[in-house]
Structure 1
């Protein structure tokens, strides 16, 4: 049994052509994205704050035939956790091709600008904004070793200042004083990051998977996790002529889905 387990573990960390890290991937959109990328033959590190939960998910996936997904512990608010994850990826793969910054929290509800405590806003920013920066900066040197490095920052339509200022927007009434601004800040960071890497082979984009039915929103969204994951992948697995520094949304009803900032 121990030998079999060892061989199984060994098979899960084989070096492959394309390696992906998805933070917050043990459920919902992140999990579905991991599954769809795995089906395409990519090796996926399924990021989870709790390693046991992540490993339990991966075991279920393995039983379903997904054999190129490995759980990795990563808490985007904890620099030591991020460094440990980075060291694992570096040891096992030597590089990282795709980073999908998916981990995010909604924060306590409701979130009015008048009454939401600053401590609650800071907590949301720690994960949704500063956490993305923590992970991105830590993994940047491994991404630079890739021939086609991609960074996808998973955002929200609630981060669009243009849409939020439009009374005719279908989600105009949905205001969240912590969550929305955290995604606006993430969008702004994405623009600067894409600019800093514009003379390289990086593609850096903000991707809104759309209002999706998940645990995140008590399954109130009209979209499916399958559609959300497919949209993320569409705008992540781009070629050398693909866009960078863009904001794509699955809620924008046209073929490309470019959202106003």
Structure 2
């Protein structure tokens, strides 16, 4: 049996504390009063969370972020899985060119698409709507590429056996490919959710209605508050930041056991 190295354990613990130190400091600051923070006295309070949720409508921003991020994740995985299955299992005219174009989208900076997306949604009247926040994000070239590489590693004999039993391609996808690909799908789902949860630029461009602001926009508005002598209420900002982290932590805990396996098995083969 291999013995544990105390030095490596200590080093790993120190590295973990180093990475967690900003989060721990934010958590500690969120329970401080504004007066105590600026005067250097310790005054623990829950008022920052009460103000963030009640006075500054952060509960509404939280709900908007959950709706948008969940919809983008579900729809993005749906379309990416179907595209990945098509690219991995079927040969058709122009298929390689279409896959190359899909991969090429990874090289296009997201900011380049801001103006075309804005003008398109403005013409169809989808600005200041949930649809306007969701639709531009559901096409994900990286997700299609990642899942395609994973599906290519699944033996074709499973598909052929299902086809011999009379299954359709959709049934093969739903009953064979998707269950086997769950680690990769969960990993990509977390990746998409995190990207959309932290998205700031597009909601800032596409939404002017306060009732549709996401958490990132709401968080940025707190910096404009000037309590006292023009000072930023950092404890309030940190309390709001902690609120934004909670759904992400919960999502990671749900898919953590699939994450490493999905990333390693979904690597380029």
**TM > 0.5 between the two?**
no
More helix by share: 2
TM-score (norm 2): 0.20
Larger radius of gyration: 2
User: Which of structures 1 and 2 has the larger relative contact order (alpha carbons within 8 angstroms, sep 6+)?
Assistant: 2
